[in-house]
Amino acid sequence: MNMELSRRQFLGAAGAGVAGTALGAFGFGDIEAAHAEAIRAFKLVNTTETRNTCPYCSVACGVIMYSKGDLKKGEKAEIIHIEGDTDHPTNRGTLCPKGAALLDFVKSETRLKYPMIRKPGLDKFEQVTWDEALDRIARLMKDDRDANFIQTNGDGVTVNRWTTTGFLAASATTNETAWETYKVVRSTGMVAFDNQARV
């Protein structure tokens, strides 16, 4: 094949279902085009590509996720393949043994699917609805806050502090989630608020 063609352009054109003409436009001769048409389409052609970064370490390697279905079109989407992003300046397409196995994280058997509650003294979780779980959390938090909130200290200084419930934030959530979490948690006056950076 006598041309410079990026993988991306190729997939874009081929995926449009006009392989013959498009390949011609790319500069294939007739024979090459006929040959190309006879080949079974590349498996990932009918997938949606999405850019992401590896969620594990802070090298933050670029990845491309391939899914059946397109979230942007409001469809259900199932990720079927994840690989390194060759355009990414840090990893240039490479992934380590963790990044290379990301699909198995997405599809892990121990992914959580439903809210669960374990009642005091019991030895198992029970599935509950989101409303039940969230209402319960809000109730528990408010009762504890109302009972223990410290508005002023011994010297009469306004301190507006809540010390009896704590919050440990993640270290792999997005900055945007972090900011929203900051707002929600700090507005309650909670002080035992930390993240994984310390550990």
Partner 1 sequence: MTNSWTDIKNTDLVIIMGGNAAEAHPCGFKWVTEAKANRGAKLIVVDPRFTRSASVADFYAPIRQGTDIAFLLGVMNYCISNNKVQWDYVRAFTNASYIVKDGFAYQDGLFTGYDEAKRDYDKSTWDYVIGDDGYAVVDDTLTHPRCVWNLLKQHIAVYTAEMVERICGTPKEKFLKVAEMISECSSPTKAMTSMYALGWTQHSKGSQNIRSMAMLQLILGNIGIRGGGMNALRGHSNIQGLTDIGLMSNLLPGYLTLPTEKEVDFDSYMSTRGFKPLRPNQMSYWQNYRKFFVSFQKAMWGASATPENNFAYDWLPKLDLPSYDVLRAFELMNQGKMNGYVCQGFNPLLAAPNRAKLTASLSKLTYLVTMDPLDTETARFWENHGEFNDVDSSQIQTEVIQLPSTCFAEDEGSLTNSGRWLQWHWPGGTPPGEAKTDNWIMAQIHMRLKDLYRKEGGAFPDPIVNLDWAYADPGEPTAEELAKEINGKALATVYDTADPTKVLAETGKLVPSFAALRDDGSTTCGCWIYSGCFNENGNNMARRDTSDPDETGAYLKWAFSWPVNRRILYNRASADLTGKAWDPSRKLIEWDGEKWSGYDVPDIAPTAKPEEVGPFIMNPEGVSRLFTRGMMRDGPFPAHYEPFESPVANLVAPNVRGNPAARVFQDDFAQFAETASAEFPYAATSYRLTEHFHYWTKHVWVNAVLQPEFFVEISEELAKEKGITHGGWVRVWSKRGSVRAKAVVTKRIKPLICDGKAVHVVGIPLHWGFTGAARKGFGPNSLTPFVGDANIETPEYKAFLVNIEPTTGPVA
Size of the site for partner 1 (CB under 8 A): 122
User: What count of other Cβ atoms lies within 10 Å of the Cβ of residue 28?
Assistant: 20
| Whether the Cβ atoms of residue 82 and residue 63 lie closer than 8 Å to each other | yes
Quick one: 26 or 99, whose CB is closer to ligand SF4?
99
**Angle CA 143–146–152, to nearest 5:** 160
Residue 160: which of ligand SF4, partner 1, none does it interact with, CB under 5 to 8 A by kind?
A: partner 1
Which one of partner 1, ligand SF4, none is in contact with 78 (Cβ closer than 5 to 8 A by kind)? partner 1
CA pair distance 136, 110, nearest whole angstrom: 24
Residue 9 binds to partner 1 (criterion: CB under 8 A): no
Furthest-apart CA atoms within the chain: distance in Å:
90
| Cβ nearer to partner 1, comparing 19 with 91 | 91
Q: In terms of CB distance, is 35 or 139 closer to partner 1?
A: 139
Binding site partner of 158, from ligand SF4, partner 1, none, Cβ cut-off 5-8 A by kind: partner 1
Q: Are 120 and 100 in contact (CB under 8 A)?
A: no
Are the beta carbons of 165 and 173 closer than 8 angstroms? Answer: no
Rounded to whole angstroms, how far apart are CA atoms 8 and 29? Answer: 20
CB of 172 to ligand SF4, least distance (A): 11
The yes or no reply on residue 158 touching partner 1 (CB under 8 A) is yes
Establish if 50 lies at the interface with partner 1 (CB under 8 A): yes
Partner from ligand SF4, partner 1, none contacting 123, C-beta within 5 to 8 A by type: partner 1
